[in-house]
Structure 1
Amino acid sequence: MDQLTRLRAPIRVLLIDDSILTLHGLKTFLSTVPHIEILGIARTPSEAFDAIQAHQPNVVMLEARVGQASGIDVCKAMRESHPNIGVLFFTAHDDKELLRAAIMADAHGYLLKGAAAEAVARSIEIVASGRAIMDQQLTQQVITWVRDGALAGQERISYNCSKDDRQLLSLVALGKTNKEIAQELNLVPRVVATRLQKIYKRLKISRRSEAARYYVQLEKDPHGREGVSHQN
């Protein structure tokens, strides 16, 4: 049993989706997971924010559309008002631009409906621990996006971001752990952690989701962008 499954208290989860079938299916399964506590369900943004205020969840599972509202907008508002809550998109949409928008909205994870039940529970654990998670079906799509962006931008380095920094940030954007990054770059995890700490300090960010968001923005605007807005 690893550190993620030894969390001291149950992970408090709120489910937000306009599909009652999805909500009840998730609730039925997750209620059987010992270390996950389902606080409630919501089908509209107003219900969601009322529930967040009342229950203070650790993790919110969110669809890309909630009624007539955009899940991206809901995520942005949620991260601004409750920065300590992890947001995990659980959606049927595998669109690259929506994934990019979710990262820019400071979401912690993006999981496709149809994922195995164990993967859903594991993703909640990862988000609750402060790490980022991405559906395996989207990994190759994002690798291509990151690779193409890196090739197009290898001579366009931000004032605050070297080529080595960009490489590290691109792997963070893929949801890789320090250990996985170390294996890919032939480094030890301690060196990766130290380098990321220095990058975070220079960019005035503190979370992996912010690092991923910075990288996405850097690919759009590689010149002269000296940081990203972030939550304190």
Structure 2
Amino acid sequence: MARTPGAAGPGPIRVLVADDEPMIRAGVRALLATDPDIEVVAEAADGHEAVELVRAHRPHVAVLDVRMPKANGIEAAAEIRRKMPATGVVMLTTFGEDDYILRALGCGAAGFLIKSGEPEELLAGVRAVADGAAYLSPKVAARVVAHLASTGAGDLAGRRDAARERVAGLTPREREVLSYLGAGLSNGQIARRLHLVEGTVKAHVSSVLARLGVDNRAAAAVVAHEAGVLPPPPPEQR
């Protein structure tokens, strides 16, 4: 049975990898191949080709480099989310591309990873996005918050105060759910942590997004990081 896009299920996670550098594509493919539950079904060398191959292969996740010829990763992500919304988008960025991350947030990308990050982050990000969650690596989250503060979007202390004020409007349960969104957990993982049914968590997530005034889980994760809302450690780490 095939995996249902956007939700955990049987079958491999089908992934498209797009980067204009063949060596980077080969490295990403090799890393993903270490996970028996992930299958790379196509590779693209530019944003236009990525959109066409997503249309042809309907992968669960598209891993897109930010800077590519013909159409960059932001443009490709927007097109994929508009025409093939069942495919989740993970953006690969480098330091110094913070403005691109913010634009990607606006176009609905669900995962953000730094190329120089730990290899495990790529696997975790692909898995999270395939399960319908958002994945914001800690380094990306920190840079987004710092970038917002340095580009006229408000000083860091001011943004933290604003984020805390927005979070203050949440119920205690919604605040718990937000903390797990900030940690990149899927609805199923949050349900297990909070001992709730997944449908209840989904309703809480929708309410959190509406109350915070954000469009997607990744944007909610930024608010969580700005407000300093962190989940408790798993029981075995307490």
Band the TM-score falls in, shorter-chain normalisation: 0.5 to 0.7
| Runs of 5+ consecutive residues of structure 2 not aligned to the other structure | 1-7, 149-155, 224-238
Question: What is the number of equivalent residue pairs in this alignment?
Answer: 200
Q: Is the 8 A contact 1:13 1:60 kept in 2?
A: yes
One-letter amino acid of the structure 2 residue matched with residue 189 of structure 1: L
| Residue 116 of structure 1, CA deviation | 2.4
- Quote the RMSD (CA, aligned, Å): 3.9
Q: Secondary structure at the match of 2:15?
A: strand
- What's the counterpart of residue 189 of structure 1? 194
Q: CA deviation at 1:46?
A: 2.6
One-letter amino acid matched to 2:132: G
Q: Identify the match of residue 149 of structure 1 among 145, 154, 159.
A: 159
Q: 1:43 is matched with which residue? A: 45
Distance, in Å, in 1 between the alignment partners of 2:139 and 2:210 is 32
SS of match in other structure, 2:103: helix
- The aligned counterpart of 2:152 is none
Question: Within the alignment, does 1:57 sit opposite 2:62 as a pair?
Answer: no
Whether 2:112 is the aligned partner of 1:106: answer: no
1:41–1:195 CA distance, 2 compared to 1 (3 A): closer
- Distance in 2 (alpha carbons) for counterparts of 1:26 and 1:178: 23
Checking the alignment, whether the CA contact within 8 Å between 1:143 and 1:174 is kept in structure 2 is no
Conserved? CA contact 2:13–2:60, under 8 Å: yes
* Same amino acid, percent of matched pairs: 24
TM-score by length of 2: 0.66
Q: 1:41 to 1:104 in 2, by over 3 A?
A: same
Pairwise CA distance, 1:189: 2.6
* 8 Å CA contact retained: 1:169, 1:211: no
Whether 1:138 aligns to 2:140 is: yes
Q: Distance in 2 between matches of 1:110 and 1:86?
A: 12
Residue range with higher mean Cα deviation, 56-65 or 161-170: 161-170
2: CA distance between counterparts of 1:119 and 1:212?
Answer: 15
Distance 1:45 1:176 in 2: 26
Q: For residues 42 and 52 of structure 2, what CA distance do their matches in structure 1 show?
A: 11
TM-score by length of structure 1 reads: 0.68
- Matched residue SS, 2:170: helix
Contact 2:88 2:129 in 1 (8 A): yes
In structure 2, the partner of 1:119 is 121
8 Å Cα contact 1:11/1:35 also seen in 2: yes
Q: How many angstroms does 1:64 deviate by?
A: 0.8
Give 1:99 deviation, angstroms: 2.0
**Residues 1:83 and 2:93 are matched in the alignment:** no
C-alpha distance in structure 2 between counterparts of 1:16 and 1:140, whole Å:
25
Matched, 1:174 2:182: yes
Unaligned runs of 5+ in 1: 1-5, 183-187, 218-232
Contact 2:12/2:37, CA 8 A, preserved across alignment: yes
